Amino acid sequence: MDDLPVEKIAISGPTLASLMQRFSSSTGPIDGLLFGHVSFLTPSTLSDDSTTTSSSSSSETLIATVTSFLSSSSTSLSFYSPSGRVNPSHLAPSSSSSLLGWFSARRKSPLRPSMREFSVSESLSSLPNLSFPILNSSSSLSPCIFLLLTTPIPDQAIHTHEYRAYQFRASTESFDPKSVDIVNIGPAFRGHYGAFSPNSNFPSLACELRSSAMVEDKKEEEESSSRVKQAAEDQRHLDQCAEGFEIGRLSLMIGSEATNYTTGLEDLYEKMLAKIENLAREVELSSAKVFEQENHNRKLRQKAARYAGSE
């Protein structure tokens, strides 16, 4: 496993936009894994100058290409502990792409790695079973790429994202800032897509079947069901008061033919008044019973007080 320096990090515009959208829609900080491949890029040294030698020296540039990512905002799904130690059992290898490193996205914080992010990068790059081969080369590289995303500390009128890429160097135990090359669609960027892979399968990660989103959906369903039941109960009470006078029948009392249904409306009012009178009598009787019970309780308290005084 070599500690080769990466010249720059390439990522497609849609991949970066998807990562930013995932960060914007989350309720808090998120982190996750970066997948892709690393390859050598040999720059062209051809020249029309006849004075130059035909065997011009050329240097190969090591480029890390990010093709996909997997994010998580839950601590139960995280691949590292609170102290920053990586759990290898949560990092199952993917057959279509290599694990290049990881990313961290947090709001209103400085654009520099924290101590925990340093520990995670150090632990991730030290796992020998996660090293992957460099394309068209006999060398290998460990997951050393770290992408940091933040938002400005002061609130701004324009929604802004800031990001910076690093390579963790195990030899010096430090982060090296790297330039980010965003590969967009167009003739000028057509050559960049030769190094991109169309596969972006999700790797196998240990996760819980029940997430917070599922719990929230279940709560919303229960609340909606209770509201429907309450509405049905209220409608039942209204129907009892209406005594068969549905909305369709009451609508006939509006317009030129309303006089034909005046008698029916008067009957409805009489029945409602009768119910109100019955309810008033029931309230009066219950009030009398309550008053009688209060008098009885007062007599019992007086009797108990006299008995206690005689002792």
pLDDT per position as a tens digit, 238-289? 666 666 566 666 666 666 666 666 777 777 778 888 888 888 888 889 888 8
The verdict on 112 and 261 lying in the same domain is: no
Structural domain includes residue 1: no
Structural domain includes residue 222: no
From 162, 188, 208, the end of a domain falls on: 208
Structural domain includes residue 231: no
Query: Between 2 and 90, where is the model more confident?
Result: 90
Average pLDDT of every residue of the chain: 79
Range of the domain at 254: 243-310
Q: At what angle do helices 262-310 and 212-242 cross, to 10 degrees?
A: 110
The verdict on 35 and 181 lying in the same domain is: yes
What's the CA gap between 9 and 165, in Å, rounded? 7
Q: How many domains does the chain have?
A: 2
Structural domain includes residue 225: no
What average pLDDT does range 76-87 have in this prediction?
83
Structural domain includes residue 228: no
- Say if residue 211's pLDDT is above 70: no
In the prediction, which pLDDT does 87 show?
87
The verdict on 141 and 278 lying in the same domain is: no
Structural domain includes residue 232: no
**From its phi and psi, is residue 294 left (phi > 0), alpha (psi between -120 and 50) or beta?**
alpha
The verdict on 197 and 271 lying in the same domain is: no
In the prediction, which pLDDT does 54 show?
44
What's the CA gap between 69 and 142, in Å, rounded? 17
The verdict on 41 and 149 lying in the same domain is: yes
User: How is residue 101 annotated by DSSP?
Assistant: E
The verdict on 161 and 275 lying in the same domain is: no
Query: Between 164 and 82, where is the model more confident?
Result: 164
Structural domain includes residue 28: yes
- Say if residue 158's pLDDT is above 50: yes
- Say if residue 106's pLDDT is above 50: yes
From 86-90, 105-109, 122-126, the region with the lowest mean pLDDT? 86-90
The verdict on 152 and 106 lying in the same domain is: yes
The verdict on 277 and 139 lying in the same domain is: no
The verdict on 185 and 89 lying in the same domain is: yes
From 191, 208, 225, the end of a domain falls on: 208
Taking 3-state DSSP, the helix, strand and coil percentages for the chain, each rounded to the nearest 5, stand at 40, 25, 35
In the numeric block, which tokens belong to residue 214? 């599922």
CATH value at residue 81: 3.40.140.10
pLDDT band at 95 (very low <50, low <70, confident <90, very high): low
Structural domain includes residue 291: yes
- Say if residue 146's pLDDT is above 90: yes
In the prediction, which pLDDT does 56 show?
42
The verdict on 58 and 174 lying in the same domain is: yes
Query: Between 53 and 67, where is the model more confident?
Result: 67
The verdict on 73 and 189 lying in the same domain is: yes
The verdict on 129 and 21 lying in the same domain is: yes
Contact between 103 and 56 (Cβ < 8 Å): no
pLDDT per position as a tens digit, 50-66? 555 444 445 678 899 99
In the prediction, which pLDDT does 231 show?
83
- Say if residue 6's pLDDT is above 70: yes
What's the CA gap between 41 and 136, in Å, rounded? 10
pLDDT band at 203 (very low <50, low <70, confident <90, very high): low
In the numeric block, which tokens belong to residue 279? 């309810």
pLDDT band at 147 (very low <50, low <70, confident <90, very high): very high
pLDDT per position as a tens digit, 118-135? 999 999 999 888 888 888
Contact between 137 and 40 (Cβ < 8 Å): yes
Contact between 11 and 181 (Cβ < 8 Å): yes
pLDDT per position as a tens digit, 220-234? 777 778 888 888 887
Angle at 85 between CA 82 and CA 88, to 5 degrees: 120
What's the CA gap between 4 and 39, in Å, rounded? 12
